[in-house]
Amino acid sequence: MTASTPNLPQPTITIVGYGSQGRAHALNLRESGFDVTVGLRPGGPTEAKAKADGFLVKSPAEAVKDADLVAVLTPDMVQKTLYYDVLAPNMKQGAVLLFAHGLNVHFGLIEPREDLDVVLVAPKGPGALVRREYEIGRGVPCIYAVHQDRSGKAEQFALSYAAGLGGARANLIKTTFKEETETDLFGEQAVLCGGASSLVQAGFETLVEAGYQPEIAYYEVLHELKLIVDLFYEGGITRMLEFISETAQYGDYVSGPRVIDAATKARMKDILTDIQDGTFTKNWVAEYEAGLPNYKKFKQADMEHPIEVVGKQLRSKMVWLAENAPKPTSQQAAAA
């Protein structure tokens, strides 16, 4: 399935936002044959970049007026204001409104106009990967969903967009706004970000408090984690077990359940409940509207943790990191 498949629609597209995902989507869709315009605030930090990439750039209000499909690729907490102040008053009747994450729609922060098709397409990878895989003739798997189907063709629009990103070259999985939103939030909080960072910090603290050198602790609980995660990524837990020693395997079997036990899983269920019933989103909206006081405090504490101090010193000697690691802008990171 490609963007040019005869049975799929070929809408004119406006991409609102040009961070990591926005840029990858715009470039891939254009190279798949779509007519793509980029909607950005005049004078904003990404306007020059989008123009340098050869896109027609307009203010969001102007950019969406003639678009068949509008893709909202801005950070979650600005989408409500963007929709009600800019998109809803200017999108044409019967257009398609597309999101890459369902939070605002699923939790009712945005209630789309009745005449719009409302869909979701979410590549399962960061923007840089979405772009790189497309350029070499492959694609990143995408999940897609339909929230509102007024035209009778909403699913076809979602599939066409996903194919244009390169997702159909890999795998397309149908989901719902509810499933995408709740599983995404849970994964971030309980495992990928919150769970992993807290586990690493606790491991570091345990070793240092026992008298071991901070540098050794850093290598053992943070630096080497990448090696394990890469194996997970390549072939699941099975591949990881194939590549670690028998001693490490035995330690996995007998000690892993002592760290992540039934009580941990019960707390994960509490996190999931807070996500499902809207408690997390309610608290996050209140935090954002209050100017992010706790967010800033928590972030500063993480940045000042001793593992970050020693890590910065050790990474300065890892020349391969400076050579290979791109430096995303804050806006790119936010929109990733």
Q: Where are the domains of the chain?
A: 13-176, 188-321
Q: Under the phi-then-psi rule, with left for phi > 0, alpha for psi from -120 to 50, and beta for the rest, what region is 278?
A: left
Output the pLDDT for position 335: 38
Other CB atoms closer than 10 Å to residue 112's CB: what's the count?
Answer: 19
Average pLDDT of 105-129? 98
* 3-state secondary structure at position 118: strand
Give the span between the Cα atoms of 273 and 224, in whole angstroms.
33
Given a contact cutoff of 8 angstroms between Cβ atoms, the answer to whether 50 and 72 are in contact is no
For the stretch 246-300, pLDDT in tens is 999 999 999 999 999 999 999 999 999 999 999 999 999 999 999 999 999 999 9
Residues 6+ apart with CB under 8 A from 136: none
Other CB atoms closer than 10 Å to residue 257's CB: what's the count?
Answer: 11
Average pLDDT of 23-33? 98
pLDDT at 89 over 80: yes
DSSP notation for 16-45 = E--SHHHHHHHHHHHHTT--EEEE--TT-T
Tokens 């991409």 locate to 15
Tell me the one-letter amino acid at 130.
V
245 is in an annotated binding site: yes
Average pLDDT of 114-140? 97
Output the pLDDT for position 322: 73
User: Of these residues, 25, 101, 106, 147, which one is catalytic?
Assistant: 101
220 is in an annotated binding site: yes
101 belongs to the catalytic site: yes
Distance between the two ends of the chain, CA-based, in angstroms?
A: 26
Average pLDDT of 306-334? 74
pLDDT at 334 over 60: no
Q: Nearest 5°: phi and psi at 283?
A: -65, -40
pLDDT at 323 over 80: no
21 is in an annotated binding site: yes
- 303: Cα within 13 Å, side-chain hemisphere: 6
Integer CA distances (angstroms), 208 to 2, 87, 305, in order: 54, 53, 13
Give the span between the Cα atoms of 104 and 120, in whole angstroms.
12
188 is in an annotated binding site: yes
179 is in an annotated binding site: no
Q: What is the average pLDDT value for the chain, to the nearest integer?
A: 94
Tell me the one-letter amino acid at 55.
F
Question: What single-letter DSSP state applies at residue 141?
Answer: -
Give the span between the Cα atoms of 316 and 282, in whole angstroms.
40
Report the DSSP pairing between strands 142-148 and 117-123. Answer: antiparallel
Q: Could you tell me the pLDDT band of residue 333, with boundaries at 50, 70 and 90?
A: very low
Q: Could you tell me the pLDDT band of residue 3, with boundaries at 50, 70 and 90?
A: very low
Tell me the one-letter amino acid at 336.
A
pLDDT at 6 over 70: no
Three-state secondary structure of 152-194: CCHHHHHHHHHHHHCHHHCCEEECCHHHHHHHHHHHHHHHHCH
Given a contact cutoff of 8 angstroms between Cβ atoms, the answer to whether 100 and 127 are in contact is no
Output the pLDDT for position 304: 97
20 is in an annotated binding site: yes
Tell me the one-letter amino acid at 61.
A
For the stretch 54-82, pLDDT in tens is 999 999 999 999 999 999 999 999 999 99
pLDDT at 336 over 60: no
Tokens coding 36: 């793509």
Output the pLDDT for position 187: 98
Q: Could you tell me the pLDDT band of residue 7, with boundaries at 50, 70 and 90?
A: confident
Classify 13-176 by CATH class. Answer: alpha beta
For the stretch 175-184, pLDDT in tens is 999 999 999 9
